[in-house]
Amino acid sequence: MKKQAGKLMKREKAANHSTNTAEKLLDAALELFAANGFNGTSIRDIARLTGMTISNIYYHYGSKEGLLIAILERATREIVDGLTEVVNRDIDPLERFKLLLRAHFDLLINIGRKEANVLFLEEEHVSRFIKPFQIEILDIYRKELQTLKSAGYVSQENLTILAFNVFGVINWHLRWYKPGGRLSLDEVANELVDFVFYGICGPPRGIKSPD
């Protein structure tokens, strides 16, 4: 019994060590990709930053692209899961769509600026790997927009184009927003949600903007 318990503890310790090593490599790659870009970062740079060997990187991720895929999966899965939680709520569809927009904005902020840089500023390399997650998010929006269309809130025929337009509004702030500016993140989020609902003319007189 003691031998079995000892073997189990050793296996658990080895597994935890492997997980910690993988996470350290991922964090180091994220740091360097965000600062220097994918092309500007080498496997040797990542190994040097972590104090590990290049063989460690190949063992856990297979290649530099494997690290990029793992970073994208970690960040985008959090976004998809968060949006899915919102659309599963049994509430008024218009209110749910407002919450969806705000949740999308908050999730992009919460995954971190470095992850955002990799997701949206390294499009040349990211686009090949992120497509499955983009489709998941696109499907979430198309379903919600179809619900709004059926309820008479949406008049546009092509809901895919409409969804991509919404993505443009939500995602683009990652390129221009700087913390510490005149507007807080909360104020920026409210402005973006207002724009999605009412465009450049604002809400009709007497109609309250979405919270």
In terms of domains, do 49 and 120 share one?
no
24 band by pLDDT with thresholds 50, 70 and 90: very high
> Are residues 71 and 115 in contact, defined by beta-carbon separation less than 8 angstroms?
yes
In terms of domains, do 93 and 53 share one?
no
39 band by pLDDT with thresholds 50, 70 and 90: confident
Which of these, 21, 33, 32, lies nearest to 60 by C-alpha position?
21
In terms of domains, do 93 and 31 share one?
no
> How far is Cα 127 from Cα 65, in angstroms, rounded to an integer?
12
> How far is Cα 142 from Cα 70, in angstroms, rounded to an integer?
27
* Cα angle value 197/207/191 (rounded, 5°): 40
Residue 83: predicted pLDDT: 94
Question: Which of the two residues, 199 and 40, has the higher pLDDT score?
Answer: 40
* Mean pLDDT value of segment 54-66: 90
In terms of domains, do 114 and 208 share one?
yes
Rg (CA), the chain: 21
Q: What is the CATH number of the domain that holds 36?
A: 1.10.10.60
Structurally, the chain folds into a number of domains equal to: 2
Q: Is 17's pLDDT higher than 60?
A: no
Residue 179: C-alpha distances to residues 1, 86, 112, 137, 185 (Å): 57, 26, 12, 26, 8
Q: Is 20's pLDDT higher than 60?
A: yes
Range of the domain at 100: 71-211
Residue 209: C-alpha distances to residues 95, 100, 195, 205 (Å): 12, 16, 10, 10
In terms of domains, do 189 and 148 share one?
yes
In terms of domains, do 50 and 102 share one?
no
35 band by pLDDT with thresholds 50, 70 and 90: confident
Residue 203: predicted pLDDT: 66
Secondary structure class of 31 (helix, strand, coil): helix
> How far is Cα 51 from Cα 25, in angstroms, rounded to an integer?
10
Residue 198: C-alpha distances to residues 1, 153, 184, 209 (Å): 69, 12, 21, 9
Model pLDDT for residues 143-183, shown as the tens digit of each residue? 999 999 999 999 889 999 999 999 888 877 777 777 777 88
> Are residues 189 and 105 in contact, defined by beta-carbon separation less than 8 angstroms?
yes
- Return all residues near 157 (Cβ < 8 A) that are at least 6 apart: none
- Return all residues near 151 (Cβ < 8 A) that are at least 6 apart: 93, 94
